[in-house]
Structure formats: structure tokens, C-alpha cells
Amino acid sequence: MKISDLVAEYIVRMLDESGGNAEIKRNELANLLGCVPSQINYVITSRFTPEQGYIVESRRGGGGYIRITRVTTDRRVAIMHIVNSIGDSISSSTADIILRNMLSQNMLSEYDFALISSAMSDKVYSGVTKEQRDMLRASVMKNMLMTLIVIN
């Protein structure tokens, strides 16, 4: 398992145990997990974003901290926010991160996750250029997520 996965798992566990709010000291967490502080920054900026359902606040200095809050909203509102954040194109890896996050937050069933994931695969778009592939994938993903809002 990669160190970034371990850091993310640790932070998620902290959020789960504290009801969705975690306050961490970057250097202390880095020492605890045996990594460099910049690795903590990388994980927070890449995996704990507003699009993934988190608010991150930080305070610098000796008594500084990073506060992460898991946002809980209505499922439909959350999915709509994700649709709006996708933009005109999306890579398969970014789509996968978003879908896994949605699954972990119970916004998708296992079935919905598998179905949408299969439609996001690069194999599906092998006949089009990379630029067109990411644009087409974004359009398909937005349409599939909008369908979830309508039917559920």
C-alpha cells in the first residue's frame, strides 16, 4: 500500500471516529506515519477537496493545524455539486476518484458504481483522440449522474 493511501485512510478513520471533523497537526501526523510533511499536504489537497465532500481549513504557525470537515448534504444536492464540478473534460483516473468517493459516502450503490465505472474506462473511448475522450467521458459521466438524481 502506498504511503498516500495510508495517510488518507488514517485521516478518514479520524473523521469517522470524530463524527466528520478532524483537526491534525501536519508534522505530528507525518512523524506518526513515518512520512514527510509534504506528503500530508499532497494527500489533503488531492483527496480531501470540496468536490469530494470536504472542507479544509488551515492555520499556520507554531500552534497551527489543519481542520478537515466532511460535508453532509442531501444526496441529490451533493450529486448536483459533483456534476457542476466536472467541467468540460475529465480523465479516467479523476472519474475513478470521484466515483470511489461517492461510493464510500453512500451516494452510489455498488451496482451504480460498477456501471458508471465501466462507462468511464479508457477502453470505451479507444476510438477517439485523448482530448475528445476526456470531453466525451465528462459528458457521459454528467448524464449518468443526472439520471441518478432523476430516478432516485
* 91 within 8 A of 121, measured Cβ to Cβ: no
Architecture of domain 75-151: Orthogonal Bundle (1.10)
Domain boundaries along the sequence of the chain: 3-70, 75-151
Provide the residue type at 18 as one letter: S
- The class of domain 3-70 in CATH terms is alpha beta
pLDDT tens figures, 87-144: 999 999 999 999 998 998 888 999 999 999 999 999 999 999 877 999 999 999 999 9
pLDDT tens figures, 113-127: 999 999 999 999 999
* 128 within 8 A of 136, measured Cβ to Cβ: yes
**What letter does residue 19 receive in the DSSP assignment?**
T
